[in-house]
Amino acid sequence: MKRYEKFADDIAELIRSGVLGPGQRVPSVRYASQTYGVSPSTVFQAYYLLERRGLIRARPRSGYFVNTHAPSPFSEPAVSEHVHESTEVDVSELVFSVLDSIKDPNTVPFGSAFPSPMLFPLPRLARSLASASREMDPRLVVTDMSPGNPQLRRQIALRYMVGGLMLPMEELLITNGALEALNLCLQAVTEPGDLVAIEAPAFYACLQVLERLKLKAVEIPVHPRDGIDLGALAQTLARYPIKACWTMTSFQNPMGATLPEAKKQALVELLRGHQVPLIEDDVYAELYYGQHAPKPAKAFDTEGLVMHCGSFAKSLAPGYRVGWVAAGRFAQKVERLKLMTSLCPSMPAQAAIADYLQHGGYDRHLRKLRYALEEQQSAMLAAIARYFPAQTRVSQPAGGYFLWLELPEQTDSLKLFQMALAQGISIAPGPIFSATQRFRNCIRLNYGSPWSEASEKAMETLGRIVRSF
């Protein structure tokens, strides 16, 4: 990381944490240069970068000031009520209607689950794919079928190590995206009819997996800033025979919440006391905006009870469908389940990503991706402030690419979905994120596409529809 980028990150962190509030003056170029020991040129480069990210704004002959809408003055969404009952899941029809809405390329994809493909180094990946395919030993197609390409597993293990987590390669299994990893983990520790603790709101794919496997959900409230409610989870564990807990510990979809490290450790300890496996969905781990990646809950696992699932779909290669799981004590069972179902992901795709991780500049790409996403978040927050009712509550995550909006109580997000779609705008309505189809006045918006005139116009239209309720 260049010096001006590091300095820009330091100022961005002061803004995110509230030390520098909206409208406040940031340190002058001379003061910052003297205080932080950097050249005036470095300070100017940092401030230009922060301007491009929408965090600060220059005022003629006055200096630089924190943007009025960065961070925005919104209140946080409310924490959902803890429902003390298990629920059979039936959300697929709702989910499929949302997924269908983003197939039209002319639709503004605020309802999508993916960032824009334009943010990924697809031409460089294609070169890695061509090179890896030419050099691939044909025998490896069979011998590496499971647990996966050893070079890719080695690269993943190295990334764990850089983050302070030592994992043996033998624990890593390559899968067809993170969703297969999560499916396999759940199958390894449950039987039809079992109870699984999940988040409320939860990523709709989690609900669909439970529905397919005929499992029952027990919803645990999520705080929009620091994640799952451990008190409610403890009550649930004491009351019900929970067989697994599925949670996103960093940049949770849809709320964007991240558990602080101490809370992640407490979560692992709580589940260890009940010997309940934790299925950790960590697909957004690389999309953090600060200087340091958040540690996974897996880092605090001492008994192999945490199954950590990751993917390159959100950070590098959405179409390659390459994910993985570090399954702890369940590694062998998960691998055998995979052999009984899909055998292995594409061997050329695995080899391509292994080559890219080793030679393609993955960390450089990630820095650019994080900056782009943070800029786009700021643009969407500013648009919400301009066009949405003042009562709107909005999450403000420090990573990922989703915002969770709690709209005025009279808003029906399912009707809003249909009305917006008629205007060429896709959104994700709140009920698809709940086994009990709650969150009727909530929506999830995706800011993972480069901001454009069409994005701004869509937000204006969306705000106008919300105000019509």
The three state secondary structure string of the chain is CCHHHHHHHHHHHHHHCCCCCCCCECCCHHHHHHHHCCCHHHHHHHHHHHHHCCCEEEECCCEEEECCCCCCCCCCCCCCCCCCCCEECCCHHHHHHHHHHCCCCCCEECCCCCCCHHHCCHHHHHHHHHHHHHHCCCCHHHHCCCCCCHHHHHHHHHHHHHCCCCCCHHHEEEECHHHHHHHHHHHHHCCCCCEEEEEECCCHHHHHHHHHCCCEEEEEEEECCCEECHHHHHHHHHHCCEEEEEECCCCCCCCCCCCCHHHHHHHHHHHHHHCCCEEEECCCCCCECCCCCCCCHHHHCCCCCEEEEEECCCCCCCCCCCEEEECHHHHHHHHHHHHCCCCCCCHHHHHHHHHHHHHCCHHHHHHHHHHHHHHHHHHHHHHHHHHCCCCCEECCCCECCEEEEECCCCCCHHHHHHHHHHCCEECEEHHHHCCCCCCCCEEEEECCCCCCHHHHHHHHHHHHHHHCC
Q: What is the C-alpha to C-alpha distance for residues 447 and 379, in angstroms, rounded to an integer?
A: 9
Per-residue pLDDT, averaged over 398-403, amounts to: 95
Contact (CB, 8 A) for 362 and 104: no
Q: What is the C-alpha to C-alpha distance for residues 70 and 50, in angstroms, rounded to an integer?
A: 11
Q: What is the C-alpha to C-alpha distance for residues 339 and 211, in angstroms, rounded to an integer?
A: 23
Average pLDDT value for the chain: 90
The top-scoring range by mean pLDDT among 129-138, 326-335, 340-349, 377-386 is: 326-335
Query: Is 71's pLDDT higher than 50?
Result: no
Per-residue pLDDT, averaged over 68-95, amounts to: 73
pLDDT of residue 54: 76
Q: Which of 35-44, 225-234, 248-257 shows the lowest mean pLDDT across its residues? A: 35-44
Measured CA to CA in angstroms, residue 4 lies from 67, 201, 269 at distances of 19, 38, 40
Q: What is the C-alpha to C-alpha distance for residues 251 and 248, in angstroms, rounded to an integer?
A: 7
Read off the pLDDT band of 260 (50, 70, 90). very high
As a whole-number percent, the residues of the chain with pLDDT over 90 amount to: 62
pLDDT of 153-182, one tens digit each? Answer: 999 999 999 888 999 888 999 999 999 999
pLDDT of 204-247, one tens digit each? Answer: 999 999 999 999 999 999 999 899 999 999 999 999 999 999 99
Per-residue pLDDT, averaged over 328-357, amounts to: 91
As a whole-number percent, the residues of the chain with pLDDT over 70 amount to: 96
Using the Cα atoms of residue 140, residue 144, residue 145 and residue 150 in order, give the sign of their dihedral: negative
Read off the pLDDT band of 26 (50, 70, 90). confident
pLDDT of residue 294: 94
In 3D, which of 160, 162, 185, 161 has the Cα closest to residue 175?
185
Per-residue pLDDT, averaged over 415-436, amounts to: 94
Angle at 160 between CA 311 and CA 158, to 5 degrees: 100
Read off the pLDDT band of 52 (50, 70, 90). confident
Measured CA to CA in angstroms, residue 17 lies from 70, 126, 379 at distances of 11, 40, 19
The top-scoring range by mean pLDDT among 159-168, 294-303, 368-377, 385-394 is: 294-303
Q: What is the C-alpha to C-alpha distance for residues 113 and 439, in angstroms, rounded to an integer?
A: 18
Contact (CB, 8 A) for 316 and 349: no
Per-residue pLDDT, averaged over 351-372, amounts to: 91
pLDDT of 276-316, one tens digit each? Answer: 999 999 999 999 987 789 999 999 999 999 999 999 999 99
Query: Is 76's pLDDT higher than 80?
Result: yes
Considering only residues 194 and 68, tell me which one the structure prediction assigns the higher pLDDT.
194
pLDDT of residue 447: 96
Does the pTM surpass 0.75? The reply is yes
Q: Among all chains, which residue has been given the structure tokens 């995110």?
A: 16
Query: Is 267's pLDDT higher than 70?
Result: yes
